[in-house]
Amino acid sequence: MVLRVVLTHAKKHPALIPLFVIIGAGGVGASLYLMRLAMFNPDVSWDKKNNPEPWNKMSPSDQYKLYSVNMDYSRLKKDRPDF
């Protein structure tokens, strides 16, 4: 229903097409980012019985940030105790 309204407005007012594309791309990008956070962030635990604290199993060489400037995680040494 919403898609039909968007298409009819786009046919009547073609200047709105870039606005619809930008808003759609923003929504898709936000959804993909939330999915990335839910799947790969060590702060999120979906299985609380088998892995209640997933951040304790992360080694210093694991990169879980989206983007890091001038940081080589493979050269970091282990400075934390094992749990």
Structure confidence by residue, pLDDT tens digits, 14-37: 998 999 999 999 999 999 999 988
The pLDDT value recorded for residue 34 is 93
Q: What rounded mean pLDDT belongs to the chain?
A: 81
* Range of weakest confidence among 1-5, 37-41, 47-51, 61-65: 61-65
- What distance, in Å, lies between the first and last C-alpha atoms of the chain? 53
- If one compares 59 and 18, the residue with the highest pLDDT of the two is 18
63 band by pLDDT with thresholds 50, 70 and 90: low
CB contact at 8 A, 41 and 55: no
The pLDDT value recorded for residue 29 is 97
List, in order, residues 6 or more apart from 62 with CB less than 8 Å away. Answer: 73
Closest CA to 40 of 13, 65, 9: 65
Look at residue 41 and give its three-state secondary structure. coil
The C-alpha atoms of residue 65 and residue 39 are separated, in whole angstroms, by: 13
The C-alpha atoms of residue 68 and residue 72 are separated, in whole angstroms, by: 9
Residue 81 has pLDDT above 80, yes or no: no
